[in-house]
Amino acid sequence: MLYRNVPKTGDTLSILGFGYMRLPAKKGGGIDEERAIAQLRYAIDHGVNYVDTAPAYHFGKSEKILAQALADGYREKVHIATKLPPWSVQVHEDMDHILQSQLLTLHTDHIDFYLLHSLAHENWEKMKRLGVRAFLDAAKKDGRITHAGFSFHGDIATFKEIVDAYDWDFCQIQYNYLDEQCQAGTGGLKYAAEKRLAVMIMEPLRGGNLAGKIPDEVQKIWDASPVKRSPAEWALRFVWDHPEVTVVLSGMNDEVHIDENIRVAGEAHPNALTPADHERIQQVKETYQRLMKVGCTGCNYCMPCPAGVDIPGCFALYNAHHLFPHDRSAKFHYIGRHGGLLSDVSYAGLCKGCGKCEKVCPQHIPVRERLHEVSREMEGGMRVIVPVLKGGLWCMSKVGRFRQAFSRKNTVVKGNHD
């Protein structure tokens, strides 16, 4: 594992941070807590010393499971980063109450890295008005927090303004090879580093879109490289190549990915990519920009939708539908998952246009307009297909029950003969 320093305090952090926001799921639904705990402990045993959570992750469960994971001596081996949710702060005193309850939940007497969550222009203005800087000063002074920072999803001008408005120790920005000009972007990364802030990176794989199932056109570009790396490794190495980056957060929930990330984090020195590597990444970037329909990272900030739309779920399958044009499974999955075939309806066409999601979307996606497109392209015939398929499933279950009853009867008859 390679390590980099926090400029203002000299703390040494692993360049790979464990994002505790996409925890492994159990087969029947819910979080596989045992696996989530084992995965984090494994990563810590292999050199990871930074873990990032928030009250918003898994509707509060992430912090609770993290506390369990850090029992048995693991707390002392790792820096905890968690966040103050500006949307839960109405008066100054709320900040103290929230921090106090986080310390209790996390079974600790201090938070190592404390962030204002998901700042952009409006919520920064609100937090300033409510005296967040005095709160941070006091919490640092009495030792409840060690480093003060903020995570960010606004524009570059607001980013610079926030960086200059307080003596921050660190910030957390979205950064990957598709987002060099998006939000804080490369300009923000360099600006923060010049001001001696540690910079933590979120979404290095853009919500998994840059890894996993890769479009053929993109895969061909990677395959042509004389150096063999997985798409995830290329994306991570791109971020670590920047000396201004301190920690890259990866929301890991698969043991194979954890091992791969730990291996790469032991090799990815800054400025190590060659001009040919950069050229290849640029080609991939241009190809993605051509193929991707909606820049949704799956962060879930817009959820729940009052009309029941699974916003990130619909966008993910819409993107998959366009990224893999020969594969029709995205449309089938869409009908299965969102059309009400296998679970409650959650399709794009349910949108009532209230606009709540657009106010919180860190990617500034015009969600209503894009959902309208999704509905038009993905839901053609769905209202006919779903009742037919449901009827088929009903018949199959009836036949299944009949078969079960029949075989039970035969078993009994056979048993009598024996």
Report the b/e string of 42-80 with b at 16+ CB within 10 A.
bbbebbbbbbbbbbbbbeebbbbbbbebbeeebeeebbb
Q: Is 176 exposed, middle or buried (0-12, 13-18, 19+ CB in 10 A)?
A: buried
Give the other-Cβ count within 10 Å of 33's Cβ: 16
- Contacts of ligand SF4 in 272-301 (CB under 6 A): 296-301
Please work out the total of residues on this chain that contact ligand SF4, with binding judged by CB under 6 A: 28
184 binds ligand SF4 (CB under 6 A): no
User: Which 3 state secondary structure label does DSSP give 145?
Assistant: strand
Cis peptide before 387 (omega within 30 of 0): no
H or E element, residue 373: helix 367-378
Among 355, 380, 392, 400, binds ligand SF4 (CB under 6 A): 355
- Dist CA 187 CA 268 (whole Å): 22
**Residue 177 Cβ vs ligand SF4, minimum distance, rounded to whole Å:** 18
Task: Answer yes or no whether residue 102 interacts with ligand SF4 by CB under 6 A.
Answer: no
- CA dist., res. 12 & res. 64, Å (int): 26
Residue 209 DSSP code? T
Q: Per CB under 6 A, does 366 bind ligand SF4?
A: no
**368 binds ligand SF4, rule: CB under 6 A:** yes
Interface segment toward ligand SF4; rule CB under 6 A; list 168-176, 311-319, 390-398, 401-409: 311-319
Does position 209 bind ligand SF4 by CB under 6 A? no
- The nearest distance, CB 298 to ligand SF4, in angstroms, is 5
To ligand SF4, the closest distance from the beta carbon of 373 in angstroms equals 13
Q: Return the range that interacts with ligand SF4 (CB under 6 A); candidates 58-66, 156-164, 285-293, 356-364.
A: 356-364
375 binds ligand SF4 (CB under 6 A): no
In 319-336, which positions are buried (b, 16+ CB within 10 angstroms) versus exposed (e)? bbbebbeeeeebbebbbb
Nearest CA among 116, 37, 40 for reference residue 78:
40
Q: How far is the CB of 7 from ligand SF4 (least distance, A)?
A: 30
Q: What angle do CA 113, 146, 143 make, to 5 degrees?
A: 135
Based on CB atoms, which residue is closest to ligand SF4, 307 or 385?
Answer: 307
At 390, give phi and psi (nearest 5°).
-60, -40
Residue number, 259 or 358, with CB nearest to ligand SF4: 358
Q: How far is the CB of 312 from ligand SF4 (least distance, A)?
A: 4
Stretch that binds ligand SF4, among 267-275, 366-374, 383-391, 410-418 (CB under 6 A): 366-374
Amino acid at 176: N
Instruction: By CB under 6 A, tell whether 302 contacts ligand SF4.
Output: yes
Q: Is 54 in the site for ligand SF4 (CB under 6 A)?
A: no
Shortest spacing between CB 349 and ligand SF4, in angstroms: 10
372 binds ligand SF4 (CB under 6 A): no
Binding residues for ligand SF4 (CB under 6 A) = 296-302, 305-307, 309, 311-312, 315, 351-357, 360-361, 363, 365, 367-368, 371
